[in-house]
Structure 1
Amino acid sequence: MADTPSTVSVTPNQHDLPPASVNSDQPTQVKPKPRPTTPKGPPLHQIYALPAPIRTFPLPAFYPSNPLSLFHVVYAWVSQLVSPPPAEPAVIHQGTWSPETRSVHIKDPKSIRALWEQGFFGKGNYSRSEPNWLKREQARRGEHDGHVAEAVTAQRREERKMMKWDRARKEQEAIERTRQLEAWKAPVGPAELLALPNSWHDLKPIYPNGSANGTLVRTPILNSTRNVSEATNAVSNGIPISVDTAVSKTSTEITTTEKETIAVASGINGHSSRPQTPTNPPKRRKSVRFSPKVESTTFQLSDPPSPHHGALTNGTAINGSVSNGISPLVRPTDLGLSQPVFENETIAKPNSQVEPEPEPELVDKEHLQLCPEEAFYLVFVLGVLSVFDPATGKPMTVADLFALCRQVSYMPPKKIDLQPDDPFLIHYAVYHHFRSLGWVTRPGIKFGVDWMLYNRGPVFSHAEFAVIVLPAYTDPWWKAQGRQPPRKSWHWLHTMNRVQATALKTLVLAYVDVPPPFEEGLGAAEIFKRYRVREFIVKRWLSNRNRD
C-alpha cells in the first residue's frame, strides 16, 4: 500500500514575513522640524510705506451721497492754507555719472536706502537687487541676528529640497515594501520549512561548536573544493547536509573561500546571509618617495623619502607650479607627513593657543546703480536727484542729462545725427508710462525682456507682467520714407511667451508710436508729448483651460 503524501499548510506569521512587511499598513509619521525663529523687524508695509521719494498732501475725497465729507474737504483745505506743508522735494540726493557702466552711482548710505525703500529705484552692485551687502556680511560675522532676503530664500529652498527628498524616500520605501510582499511565497517543502527564520540554519552559534542547547554538535568539515561544490549543490537542491557524510579535515580550520561558499549556498527562499566585512582587515602601509633632484618630475623606487621637496617648489618660494606630482600649496601635514621646520617658522607649543587673526574692519563698498531711464525719471519728473559730471565735478542740467542719455543709448555712443527712434527715447517712454500708472517698473534682463512690472514692489510679490518694447512707425512721414519696424518671427514670439508663461508672468507687447523728426532745441517735455504707447497682452491659448 502506497503511503499517502501529507500536505503541510503553513500560515505566515509576523516572524515569517519579510522585515519590511511588518506594519506596512501604518505609515511612519515624521514630525516636521520646527522652523528656526528669526528676529522680526518692522512690518514691510511700514518700511515701504511711501511709493515715491516725495511727500504729497492731497485733499480728501468728496462723496455726493455723504454731505459730511464736504466739511472734511473744507477743513483739510483751510488747514493747508493756514499752515502750508513744506516744499517738496525736501531732500535731493546726489549721484555721479559712470561712463564705464553707463549708469548713475549713488554712494551715500542714506540716499541708497531712501531711493530703494521709496519706489525701489536702482540695484545694488554687490547684491542681487536690494543693496544689503553690508547687512549680509555683518550677519555672516555674527555681529547681529538680522535676516536678509537672500538668507530667507536660501533657507526656504533648503526646506523645499529636504521635503522633496523625504517624499521621494517614502515613495521608494513603499515601492520596496510592495516588491517584497509580492516576491514572498509561503514555504511548502520540507527544505523550505527548515530554511525559515528561527530554524537550525539561521541560529547563530551562541555555544561552543555551534550548539544551541548546550550540547556539543559535530560541525561538518570540508577538505576539498569538490566537497564544497557537492555541499553547495546539495543545499541548493533542498537536501540537508548530514554530519556523518561530511569528510573531516586534518586541520580544524576552514578557509575563507569555503566559508563564503557555504554561506551563499545556505541561502534558501531569500534568507541568505549577507557578506560581512572582516573586523580586522590587514593593514597596508603606503610610502611616498620623492626624487632627490629638484628639477625632476618623476621618482625612482630607490630614491629616499624627502618630504621637504614636496612642500616647496625648487627649494624656494611657492610659485604655483607642481613638483613631483604634488601641489606646492599642499602642506606636509596634509600628506600625512611630519611637519618640517623652516627658517621663518617657529614651533608652537602644544598647550599654547594660536590667536586667530582679527578680520579687517567691515566697510560698506556697495553703491546703488541707476539705469539711464531711472536716473532721468528721478531728475526730470520728481526732481529728487542731482547727477554730477565726473570730469567737471558740477551737477548736470536736465538738458545735459537728456542729451547724454540719448548719446549713450547707442553702441558705440553717438553724438550727432540723433533720431526720434533713439533706444533711450523709446524705452523711457514706456518706463514713464507705467510709472505714471502706479506700477513699479524695473529692468527685466533676467527674463529676456525690457521691463518687469510689480504691483507694489519686489519685496511683496513677484512681477506680474513682462514688457517688451517695440517701435511702431505708424506716422505717414515714416510710411513715405519706407521705414519698417524690426522684423520678428512667430518662433521668437512663441519662445518669449513660453518663457514668461513658465515663470508665471504675462507677456505684454508695448508698441511705441514714433513721431516724425522734430526740430532741434526742444525740451524733454515737448518731445515726450509726441510719443504714444499702446499695450497688447499675449497669452497662450490652451484648449483644456480656455473653453469658456
Structure 2
Amino acid sequence: MSLITPSSKAKRSFGGKGGGRRFENNKIYGNPLPLLFVDPPSTRLNSVLGLLGLSLTRVENPHCEGIFDPITRSVWITNMDHCMTLWRRGFFGKGDLSRSEPSWLARQMNLRKSAGKQLTSEEVTARRRAERKQFKLDRAAAIAAVAEEAEQIFEKEGKVTVPALSGPAIPSAATWKPSQPIRPETPITPAEVDIPDPLDEEPLENVEHMQLTLQEAFFLLWNLDCLTVLHPDTLEPMSLKDLWIAFQRAHLPIEIEAPQPLRFDNPFLINYAVYHHYRSLGWVVKGGIKFCVDYLLYKRGPVFSHAEFAMVVLPVYEDPGDQEDAPSNLQNATPFAWSWLSTINRVNSQVQKTLVLVYVTIPSRKRVSATVLESPACFTQYSVREVILRRFIPARMRD
C-alpha cells in the first residue's frame, strides 16, 4: 500500500478554487479532522516540559450524535451544529437537500432577504450550467446561419464557400454574453413569486439533515471516537460491537431474512478497507457516483480544488472457491469488459481525473478463521493495491 503522488500535469491542471476567498476557506476549513489539538498558553512551565519531551496540549472532541438508518445504509445527523462541525473539519457527510455542504436553510433565508440576488454555490452552479447550455445553442444557431448563407451564395453565384467555424459571426466562450438574464430550468430554490412582508413570514424550520455513509460513520466512531450512533427504534446509543454487526447486516440482500454468518466479502468491509486506507494517508475521500466510480480523492477538500483521482474498487478473492458460494454477486468481482473500462476512463479523462483501479484482496476462509470477523481486527487480513490507468492518445504522447 503506497500513497499516490500527483503528477506534475495534475498539479498544473487543478488550480485552487475560490480566488479571493482562499484565505477565508483556509480559516474555516483549516482543520483536517473533527478533533482539535489546543495548545495551552505559553508559560515557563510549558518551556520546561517541552525540554523534557512533555506537553500540556489537550484534545477537544466534538462528540456528535447520529441515528442509524438501515434502509438508506447511512447515519443521519440532525443537529446542525454537529453537521457543520463534521463538514468543516474533514468534509464528512453530505446534506440531503444540498450538493455537498448542508446549505438548504441558507438558500431559503437568502431567497427571503435578497429575493435571490445573492447566490449560494448550488445556485451559481445551476446558473452556470444554464448559461453553458444557452451558449451551445447560440453557437449552433450561428454555425447553421453561416452554412445557410454559404448555400445561398452557391445557388446564386455558383461559388463554393466553406462555412467558417470561427470569426465575428460565431460566438466563442471568451466573447459570448447572454442577451438576457438566464435562469435555470430546474431552480434549486422555489420560483420567485410575490415576496411577502417579512413581518408576516413564519420562521424557517431547517428540514435538512446530513447523511454519513457507513464507512464515514465507522471511521469517526472507531478511529476518532467523536461520533455516537443511536438505534433507530430505541434511540439508545449503540455499542461498537452492535454497529459492527449492524453495518454488515445492512449490506446483505433484502431477500435474505434468516441470520447469515459473517463473511469476508461483505461490501461494507471491502469499501471500508479502501476508505480507511486513503483517509489514514491524509486524503479526503468522497463518493464518486457522479463520475461512475466508487470514490474521489481530494488533496484538501472540495472547497479548495477538484478531485485529482477517481477510484474504482475491484474485489479479488484469494480463494476462487469463496466466490462460488457467495450469497450475492459482489460488484466488480467478475472480470469486466474492455468497453466498460474504456467508458469510465474516457469519462474521467474528460474531467481531468486520473483513474485508479483499487484491488482489494479478500482473505480466504480456509486460511483465516471466521471468528476474526467478530471485531475490526479482521482488517489486517485485507490488502489494497493500486493501478493507475491513463488514456493512450498517440497524437499527443509521441514525445
Fold shared, TM-score > 0.5 on shorter chain: yes
Letter in 1 for 2:32: P
Distance 1:455 1:526, change over 3 A: same
Note the alpha carbon deviations across 1:29-71, whole angstroms, 9 max, x for none: xxxxxxxxxx97972121111111112479xxxxxxxxxxxxx
Matched-pair identity in %: 41
Which amino acid in the other structure matches residue 93 of structure 1? C
The corresponding residue for 2:83 is 112
Secondary structure, in 3 states, of the residue corresponding to 1:382? coil
Structure 1 residue 393: Cα displacement: 2.3
| Offset, 1:165 | 6.3
Matched, 1:529 2:371: no
Match of 1:150 among 118, 122, 126: 122
| Aligned mates of 2:37, 2:52 — CA distance in 1 | 15
Of 485, 488, 491 in structure 1, the residue corresponding to residue 336 of structure 2 is 488
**How far apart are residue 547 of structure 1 and its match?**
1.6
For 1:444-459, list aligned pairs within 5 A.
444-459=288-303
C-alpha distance in 2, partners of 1:136/1:177?
A: 47
Gaps of 5+ in 1: 1-38, 59-73, 186-353
Distance 2:210 2:108 in 1: 17
Partner residue, 1:367:
209
Q: Deviations over 1:319-343 (max 9, x none)?
A: xxxxxxxxxxxxxxxxxxxxxxxxx
Q: Which residue of 2 aligns with 1:541?
A: 392
Change (3 A) 1:167 1:480: closer
Q: Which has the higher strand share?
A: 2
**1:422 maps to what in 2?**
266
- C-alpha deviations, 1:89-112, integer Å up to 9, x for none? 422001111233221110111100
SS in 1 for 2:371: coil
Which residue, 473, 487, 494 being the options, matches 2:317? 473
1:520 to 363, 366, 371: 371
Contact 1:89/1:383, CA 8 A, preserved across alignment: no
| Alignment-derived partner of residue 391 in structure 1 | 233
2:109 equivalent among 138, 158, 181: 138
How far 1:456 moved relative to its partner?
Answer: 1.6
Residue 52 (1) aligns with residue 41 (2):
no
Q: Corresponding residue for 2:251?
A: 409
SS in 2 for 1:529: helix
| Preserved contact between residue 473 and residue 483 of structure 1 (Cα < 8 Å) | no
| Maintained 8 Å contact 1:89/1:384 | no
Alignment length (residue pairs): 323
Residue 438 of structure 1: how far off its partner (Å)? 1.4
Q: CA deviation at 1:132?
A: 0.3
Displacement after TM superposition at 1:489 (Å):
2.0
Please state how far the C-alpha of 1:390 moved relative to its aligned partner. 2.3
**Judging changes above 3 Å, is the alpha-carbon distance between structure 1 residues 40 and 363 closer, same or farther for their aligned structure 2 residues?**
farther
Contact 2:298 2:307 in 1 (8 A): yes
* Equivalent position of 1:509 in the other structure: 357
Q: Distance in 2 between matches of 1:146 and 1:128?
A: 18
8 Å contact kept, 1:104–1:370: yes
Superimposed CA distance per residue, residues 332-364 of structure 1 (whole angstroms, 9 cap, x where no aligned partner):
xxxxxxxxxxxxxxxxxxxxxx99994432110
Distance 1:385 1:176, change over 3 A: same
The correspondence for 1:43, drawn from 20, 24, 32, is: 24
Contact (CA 8 Å) 1:464, 1:505: kept in 2 or not? yes
- 1:146 and 1:41 mapped to 2: Cα distance? 19
Offset at 1:180? 9.0
SS in 2 for 1:391: coil
Is contact 2:262-2:370 (8 Å) kept? no
Which of the pair has the greater relative contact order for Cα pairs under 8 Å at 6+ separation? 2
Q: Secondary structure at the match of 1:373?
A: helix
CA separation of 1:480/1:135 partners in 2, compared to 1, >3 Å: closer, same or farther? closer
Could you tell me how far apart the structure 2 residues matched to 1:427 and 1:375 are?
A: 13
Q: Which residue of the other structure, out of 121, 125, 130, is the alignment partner of 2:92?
A: 121
Normalised by the size of structure 2, how large is the TM-score? 0.70
Match of 1:189 in 2: none
The structure with the largest helix share of the pair is: 2
How big is the shift at 1:143? 5.5
Moved more, 388-397 or 45-54: 388-397
| Paired residue secondary structure (2:343) | helix
Alignment RMSD: 3.6
Q: Report how far residue 493 of structure 1 moved.
A: 1.8
Corresponding residue number in structure 2 for 1:85:
57
Describe how 1:94-105 pairs up with structure 2 within 5 A: 94-105=65-76
